[in-house]
């Protein structure tokens, strides 16, 4: 059995943010990550202005991620469109780039990282891995993202009767993409789902969808769903037509949008998607992950393992407003009548919604 004062499970955004803060405070800790190489997680890749502030506090310069800024949003439903400037400039970036930069900063500050460690079960704060090892930390920071670990799985009921799936496909760089998406992002609304499109630092466009299982089943497959949506929505169809026929469509099942971990437990800090899952159309999932890591680490530094339960309950309260508002917007966006409501979506209202779905300052 291996003992450590603090164990961080997961080397993504929440885990790396926790590690950076603990390293700065000089607190002994260990980070374990199941992947041997940094991948490109299924994610919209949108960093809001509030998230950029959190990253700056972690020592990460936004220009090192992507020097280009996102300043406006276009929303489509059917053949209708609304557009507005964002309250403040944002950034779009691949998860591979962001995760690499964050974990490198944690390691530079002295965080010991062990890769290729797959956690299979957690009992209290005791962690068992696939290779038979057991960790017994004084404090456990669970930052496994959308991946549930046995013993800590989020409730099935949170997924609903018609659960949401996440899909992601890359569109290769082109002059048409650069001209159309320069400085902007797009959100396409359709019955039982929505799609977001943004240009990232590597020149590709990231097309991410959140779609209910019933809609995907009706189409038959992810590729057939994209083709159907392209025919149904002309503006989205222009981008679907640019997708390489051999491009991989990544998928993740049963995303529990709207769920929050409301109760705390001694010595256990649940972070990121393990603390709460905001509908992705809000573009604040990465912000919540980073904020949770920073706030949990600070609570541990100030109050030790005894701070965990109160911190979890307090963080759930902080998530209530952004997740609640994003949930209401999602219900409207996924309605088949969204196209009729779009003319009512004035630029000022878009800015209010964009601001209201940000997590508050740490």
**Residue 157, pLDDT above cutoff 90:** no
* 22: in domain: yes
pLDDT at 348: 72
Give the global pTM. Answer: 0.95
**Residue 176, pLDDT above cutoff 90:** no
* 301: in domain: yes
The stretch 110-136 carries a mean pLDDT of 96
CATH at 34: 3.50.50.60
* 92: in domain: yes
* 344: in domain: yes
* 34: in domain: yes
- Give me the domain span that covers residue 7: 2-158+256-356
* 138: in domain: yes
Q: Give 17-70 pLDDT, tens digit per residue.
A: 999 999 999 999 999 999 999 989 999 999 999 999 999 999 999 999 999 999
**Residue 335, pLDDT above cutoff 90:** no
What share of the chain in percent tops pLDDT 70?
97
21 or 353, higher pLDDT? 21
What share of the chain in percent tops pLDDT 90?
83
pLDDT at 79: 83
Q: Give 277-332 pLDDT, tens digit per residue.
A: 999 989 999 999 999 999 999 999 999 999 999 999 999 999 999 999 999 989 98
Three-state SS sequence of the chain: CEEEEEEEECCCHHHHHHHHHHHHHCCCCEEEECCCCCCCCCCCCEECHHHHHHHHHCCCCHHHHCCCCEEEEEEEECCEEEEEEEEEEEEECCHHHHHHHHHHHHHHCCCCEEECCCEEEEECCEEEECCCCEEEEEEEEECCCCCCCECCCCCHHHHCCCCEEEEEEEECCCHHHHHHHCCEEEEEEECCEEEEEEECCCCCEEEEEEEEHHHHHHHCCHHHHHHHHHHHCHHHHHHHCCCCCCCCCEEEEEECCCCECCCCECCEEECHHHCECCCHHHCCHHHHHHHHHHHHHHHHHHHHHHHHHHHHHHHHHHHHHHHHHHHHHHHHHCCCCHHHHHHHCCHHHHHHHHHHCCCCCC
The total of structural domains in the chain comes to 1
The stretch 221-234 carries a mean pLDDT of 95
* 224: in domain: no
The stretch 4-9 carries a mean pLDDT of 98
* 177: in domain: no
pLDDT at 279: 95
**Residue 345, pLDDT above cutoff 70:** no
**Residue 260, pLDDT above cutoff 80:** yes
């Amino acid at each position: 059995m291996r003992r450590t004062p603090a164990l961080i499970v997961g080397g993504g955004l929440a885990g790396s943010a926790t590690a950076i803060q603990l390293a700065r405070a000089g607190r002994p800790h260990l980070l374990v990550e199941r992947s041997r190489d940094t991948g490109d997680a299924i994610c919209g890749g949108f960093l809001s202005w509030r998230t950029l502030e959190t990253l700056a506090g972690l020592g990460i310069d936004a220009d090192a991620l992507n020097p280009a800024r996102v300043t406006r949003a276009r929303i489509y439903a059917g053949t209708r469109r609304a557009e507005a400037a964002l309250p403040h400039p944002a950034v779009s970036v691949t998860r591979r780039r962001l995760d690499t930069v964050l974990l490198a900063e944690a390691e530079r500050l002295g965080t010991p990282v062990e890769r290729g460690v797959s956690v299979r079960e957690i009992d209290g704060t005791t962690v068992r891995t696939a290779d038979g090892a057991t960790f017994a930390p004084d404090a456990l920071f669970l930052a496994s993202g959308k991946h549930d670990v046995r013993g800590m799985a989020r409730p099935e009921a949170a997924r609903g009767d018609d659960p949401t799936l996440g899909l992601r496909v890359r569109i290769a760089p082109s002059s048409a993409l650069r001209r159309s998406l320069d400085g902007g992002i797009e959100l396409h609304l359709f019955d039982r789902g929505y799609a977001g499109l943004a240009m990232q630092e590597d020149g590709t466009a990231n097309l991410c969808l959140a779609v209910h299982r019933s809609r995907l089943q009706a189409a038959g497959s992810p590729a057939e769903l994209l083709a159907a949506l392209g025919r149904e929505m002309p503006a989205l169809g222009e981008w679907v037509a640019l997708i390489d026929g051999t491009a991989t469509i990544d998928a993740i099942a049963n995303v529990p949008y709207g769920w929050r971990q409301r109760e705390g437990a001694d010595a256990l800090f649940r972070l990121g998607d393990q603390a709460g899952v905001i509908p992705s159309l809000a573009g604040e999932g990465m912000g919540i992950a980073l904020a949770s890591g920073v706030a949990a680490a600070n609570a541990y530094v100030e109050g030790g393992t005894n701070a965990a339960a109160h911190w979890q309950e307090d963080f759930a309260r902080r998530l209530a407003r952004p997740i609640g508002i994003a949930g209401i917007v999602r219900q409207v966006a996924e309605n088949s009548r969204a196209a009729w409501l779009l003319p009512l979506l004035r630029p000022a209202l878009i800015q209010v919604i964009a601001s209201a779905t940000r997590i508050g300052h740490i």
